[in-house]
Amino acid sequence: MNFPNPLIPGFNPDPSIVKVGEDYYLATSTFEYLPGIPIYHSTDLVNWDRIGHVVDREGQLDSTDVPTLGGAWAPTIRFHDGLFYVAVTDAMARGTLVFTAENPSGPWSDGLVIEGAIGIDQDLAWDEDGTAYMTYSGLDTVTGNIGEHGGILQVRVDLEAGKAVEEPRSVWSGTGLMFPEAPHLYRHGDYWYLMIAEGGTERGHSVSIARGTSPAGPFEGNPANPILSARSTERPIQNTGHGDLVQTPDGGWAMVLLGMRPKGMTRAFSALGRETFITPVTWEDGWPVVEPVILNPRPGSGKFEDHFADSELDGGWIAVRRFPGTFASTEKNPGRLTLVSDGTGLDDPRPSFLGRRQRYQVETISALVDTGSSEELDPLAAEESAGKGNAGGLAVRYDEAHHYSIELNGTTLTARARISSIEQSWTRQVPAGPLELRIETRQPESGAGFGHLSSDTIALQAVVDGELLTLAELDGRYLSAETAASFTGRVSGVFASRGTVTFDWFRSEGREPH
């Protein structure tokens, strides 16, 4: 099959997939963003639609105060005896959870805590008599021992009582590379296969596999391990790992996995973070053989436009540590999006920020923002009004310490860059009234100059009296996975930092670099 790659672009890491009849369902990590754990559906492994989220209400995850990097880690989606299961880590919060649903579009259960199985990247598998096995990576994100790693562990679990029915046992943990994680257990032919990721989720990421005659092992490693890695290669897709196997519609096999597309002369900066990719798999001598992951972007450009005409927000909007409905509404002012700030800004853990995953490496977002200014102010009055009234605009965010924004406050327009402990801003006065704001992501400069080292350039702009005004052009490398060190990706959208701000429309348009 000619698979597109990335399969699901933008911040969609740690994919897991299940085939049920002619349908495919795929889940990815969301960390501190809500709603959490999107479920994507396909019938051909090529075209995908988001049909819902596992976490769509309060209480399913303990996300309110979860630290950055915490939250929903590495879901595994499976189907057994008429029920869908998602096993996941609520890292630095509730711990090991299992959600269930009769329909993968939801509603999903509240999430059952599994006692006695502390770790991450939980997998579920059932043997012939219905015994459930949970296999996971032995990293403790709950009790404070996060510096220790116990390798790949396994327990039999009671999924009704929510507990392990035995002490965790160590199973095959790879070839000796760092950080064995992302285990998945499969029955194929005469063997049970245990597939894991190892080498760390950075450039050394890889996939290895072992097999045995019992789901509990012992397991014998594949002599050809690792069966997938892009390390030390020129491939444009790096960090390939965390894979899950699935049968294709034509009877073959494929692996969905995470990968990154680093840019810059030294390919050092990945703006979009970890994305979902796919690659063909064949079986030889009882072992899976995985093809290198080939870059194959979907042709053309991608567009999204929201005029906020519906009473409910489009499901692609996400927020940080709280659900969008707690501060965003399309009903207060029908046909407009209204954001209400509780006094928090983009530097805070729970901003009034409503974003969408950046899906293309060249992308422009724009919105018409209204902060309620209806009269002209002279320069002195404008200066006095700064810090008062309503304020909001557009932002591109990695986390609370790494974001670029352009904000309207009355007649004061401010572009701002926050990079860890460093901050810079640029201010201009503009006419009163609604204003179109833009954030443009461009390809890096060509040639051998300093700019060629970066992933991209981000321009913070506004349309003033029909002319495009650029307040700042910023180096995009500082909003990348390698610099911010967050596990997510770029999320771009609208925010309110003070009072009530409305938006008539929001648009995004993107394409792949030439």
Element (H, E) at 72: strand 71-80
Rounded to an integer, what distance in angstroms lies between the CA atom of residue 218 and that of residue 210? Answer: 9
Determine whether 127 is an active site residue.
Answer: no
User: Distance between alpha carbon 280 and the CA centroid of its chain, in Å?
Assistant: 23
Beta bridge partners of 391: 409, 498
Where does residue 507 rank: exposed (0-12), middle (13-18), buried (19+ CB within 10 A)? middle
Of 32, 121, 123, 181, catalytic: 181
CA dist 201 → 229, 257, 389, 426, 487 (Å): 11, 12, 44, 37, 10
Could you count the other beta carbons within 10 Å of the beta carbon of residue 289?
A: 15
416 - beta bridge partners?
405, 425
Tokens representing 249 are 């519609």
Contacts of 145 (CB under 8 A, 6+ apart): none
Tokens of 136: 């996971």
Asked about 436 being catalytic, the answer comes back as no
Instruction: Please tell me which residue in 14, 275, 363, 456 is annotated as part of the active site.
Output: 14
Query: H or E stretch including 458?
Result: strand 457-464
Angle at 452 between CA 451 and CA 457, to 5 degrees: 55
Interacting residues of 159 by C-beta distance below 8 A, sequence separation 6+? 85, 98, 112, 114, 132
Residue 60 neighbours by CB under 8 Å, 6+ apart: 36, 54, 99, 108, 110, 111
Place of tokens 């506004």: 462
Tokens coding 386: 């700064």
CB atoms < 10 A from the CB of 333, how many?
Answer: 15
Tokens of 439: 């954030």
The answer to whether the peptide bond before residue 223 is cis (omega within 30 degrees of 0) is no
For every residue of 30-61, DSSP letters joined together read -BTEESEEEEEEESSSSS-EEEEEEE-STTSS
Which residues on neighbouring strands pair with residue 34, listed in sequence order? 319
Q: Which of 297, 183, 172 is nearest to 241 (CA)?
A: 183
Q: What is the DSSP string of 480-511?
A: SHHHH--SS--EEEEEEEESEEEEEEEEEEEE
Active site residues: 14, 181
